Structure 1
């Protein structure tokens, strides 16, 4: 968890403690507050010490128990502030994958120059429906989230309209193992690789592949997107990070440029994709 995120969570906890200790009826103990809602008594301590992120419902119950409902908007704004940087999958996927896909659609629609590095799978903007369906299904299974796969796939496919609407330039780099990872049935991967070969030469997409044997300036690490050199989106198994501070953006941009030095394009990229296609088992 980032230092900035943890510091913000701890500051929020300090504010929660202030509210609990200054109720109109006098000081409210943590035990009394926990008993009010049947919480585990350690929950109050975890929230006040920045060890647990409150939910909006937690905040509402807290201010109501403390007789200070007017502080709810302030606390919610604090929560939204640090959640805008680290968005846990548990919270994001509570309503399924479709809202997450819609958020990415909006972010890309509002950008002109988009750079991506991906070391795990084909990026969503270039996915076929069957490949996207496999990825999203596995994600829902991992996170035990609602299965709205078909709606999520439709939203992800809608994003691809941005490739043809003009006004944007995609600079995408994939690591070669991505071309061979069977995170979907072989037939779906074959169609996905055909799709990638068809992307090469598009005037809105620059597709590079970093060969497995290439000398790397930096380790491959996790995938990420950079929007207009102003915002970075990357993800871990537990959360998505949306970063907009200048130092972080510059670090990711520098990383992307170092990875680009190892990438091949045009016919060389086509040959790598075609080679991966030929290695698939026959249908």
Structure 2
């Protein structure tokens, strides 16, 4: 596979168990520096290897266990720390499965539990009539021999379900902290605690996650999709604040802004009778850090740094 990529003009390296430690270190270093774009390995980097900028994973063999498949795909699911990898913008990870693992075990998101409900028992299976392999019950094609499986018609006359409505889980509602839309345009959202705050900001087609805390410089937490940046900013708050502070600051949602807060806000804030103490706190955090936030985002968004 490495030879095929190199022949196509895409620099690639190969890692396998017979390489010396120095050879392996040199190849990994070349991948980390961008000297090579593709890293092919044979059961060596399945787990324990991390290079967050990796944005594509190609599976070329089937895996008998789903845990192995998750480990392999996980090499490309790491989020990028902008301070560690300046100029790298990663918004997703493409997984190309040529080894039928996803057909055998299902995709990764099928195991996601958003409501703290744990499943028990084994997934239902059936037997392929051609090769006798045990395969997922819903498979229409055997992932091992390729046999097409004809669906049996329901003689009981049961009707197919229709009218499904898919709803997206709102991460804002699941956060311990209250996220507020600063200016009503969904382009700047912030949440605050007693000593730290987190925010996500939209600019030129990308979201930027920024975290701040008392006595420390602002930190760019991530760049990319809204949900990813929101999770990174929320993690920042959970790291530097406590559940107790989240609970107490949520109590400010039912309180009017204090006189001291109003002194730091524009005169029009006094006429905003829907303004709460919590929203005022978020606005003040933004006003005090507005210039630093803008500089941080603009520095990360320059074409030179994106191409680095």
Q: Larger relative CO (CA 8 A, sep 6+): 1 or 2? A: 1
- TM-score over 0.5 for the pair: no
Larger radius of gyration: 2
Query: Normalising to structure 1: TM-score of the pair?
Result: 0.29
Query: Normalising to structure 2: TM-score of the pair?
Result: 0.27
